[in-house]
Amino acid sequence: MSFTSSTQSVPAAGAIPRHIAVILDGNGRWATRRHLPRAAGHRKGVEAVRATVEGCARRGVEFLTLFAFSSENWRRPAEEVSLLMRLFLSALQREVTQLHRNGIRLRIVGDLSRFEPRLQKMIADAEARTAGNTRMTLTICANYGGRWDIMQATNALLRQRAAQGVPLDQPVAEDDLSRHLSLAYAPEPDLFIRTGGEQRISNFLLWQLAYTELYFCECFWPEFNDQRLEEAIQWYGQRERRFGRTSVQTRGGS
Ligand code: IPE
Ligand code: IPE
Ligand code: MG
């Protein structure tokens, strides 16, 4: 299945976004406020992930994309990085069976080459096991960066064009590049949610967020729950997505 860019073809207006992309932020601050180690925030954050996955699947969201570890998060203290890796590994081990039972397809995108071989193997197995599921696609962005994605797509395109002997002066179209992006299987996100109070993209889906509605939530990620998801979706339902057109055109006028 392939999708055209939502910046080119306007998605049908509907209260439920087809694709929600989330920066789950604020685990550390949530813990620090409670005089707990940051690790406690990350553990609690896994529970909020579970609730969000279930809430989205129940509402008929087709794609949910979560930013779990950025290419810049390696800059954190080694101890925190290794805890995040262990949490990721154990969540994979624990949750895949339930995801599979719920008809959810799992994809992990990012530069996976930096992960230890055992984790890479588990990722490949989890993806293969859930590959036939169609209810919702859950994408976890791990060691992901928007710039990394655009660069890896560019390099893939260059290799392909060299192999096919495409003349260097033949222009590159948007589609030529976007089909090499790691989320090429999904439509562009309709709704972006960031918890934790910061209003920035932090090198998440730079290409794909071109026309996404941006929602910022003050709560820390461990506090995110079904009610907060509902509030974000309600807010989304009230947006008028114009994609460059006028308001009159958007409402069906000429
Ligand atoms: C988000 O919470 C989780 C990851 C980035 C892995 P943070 O760990 O960034 O929490 P804060 O922003 O420091 O509170
Ligand atoms: C963004 O959160 C990345 C993830 C949630 C994985 P950060 O906490 O790393 O973002 P900054 O550093 O505040 O921009
Ligand atoms: Mg943060």
What is residue 7's predicted lDDT score, i.e. its pLDDT?
64
List, for residues 55-113, the tens digit of each pLDDT value: 999 999 999 999 999 999 999 999 999 999 999 999 999 999 999 999 999 999 999 99
Nearest atom within ligand 2 for CA of residue 141: 6
Ligand 1 site, residue 29, Cβ cutoff 6 A: yes
Tokens of 168: 């260097």
Nearest atom within ligand 2 for CA of residue 73: 9
What is residue 249's predicted lDDT score, i.e. its pLDDT?
87
Calculate how far, in angstroms, residue 198's C-alpha sits from the geometric centre of ligand 2. 9
What is residue 210's predicted lDDT score, i.e. its pLDDT?
96
CATH assignment, 19-241: 3.40.1180.10
Ligand 2 site, residue 141, Cβ cutoff 6 A: no
Catalytic site residue 73? yes
Ion ligand 3 neighbours, Cβ < 5 Å? 25
Contacts 24+ apart (CB under 8 A), 44-47: 44/222, 45/221, 45/222, 46/87, 46/91, 47/222
Is 70 assigned a ligand-binding role in the annotation? yes
What is residue 9's predicted lDDT score, i.e. its pLDDT?
63
Locate the domains of the chain by residue range.
Answer: 19-241
Ligand 2 site, residue 23, Cβ cutoff 6 A: yes
What is residue 3's predicted lDDT score, i.e. its pLDDT?
44
What is residue 15's predicted lDDT score, i.e. its pLDDT?
82
Sign of CA dihedral 200, 59, 94, 44: positive
Ligand 1 site, residue 57, Cβ cutoff 6 A: no
What is residue 8's predicted lDDT score, i.e. its pLDDT?
58
Catalytic site residue 155? no
Nearest atom within ligand 1 for CA of residue 38: 8
Nearest residue (by CA) to ligand 2, atom 8, is 25
What does 40-59 look like in DSSP terms, one character per residue?
HHHHHHHHHHHHHHHHHHHH
Q: Are 29 and 72 in contact (CB under 8 A)?
A: no
> Taking the CB of residue 185, how many other CB atoms lie within 10 A of it?
16
pTM: 0.94
Nearest atom within ligand 1 for CA of residue 32: 14
Residues in the chain, pLDDT under 70: 1-13, 253-254
Calculate how far, in angstroms, residue 251's C-alpha sits from the geometric centre of ligand 3. 38
Is 76 assigned a ligand-binding role in the annotation? yes
Half-sphere exposure in the Cβ direction for 17 (13 Å, CA): 35
Alpha carbons 148 and 132: distance in angstroms, whole number: 28
Ligand 2 site, residue 24, Cβ cutoff 6 A: yes
Calculate how far, in angstroms, residue 26's C-alpha sits from the geometric centre of ligand 3. 5
Return the residue matching tokens 């509605």. Answer: 213
Ligand 2 site, residue 203, Cβ cutoff 6 A: no
Alpha carbons 249 and 243: distance in angstroms, whole number: 10
Sequence-ordered list of residues with C-beta below 8 angstroms from that of 214, at least 6 positions apart, any chain? 192, 194, 199
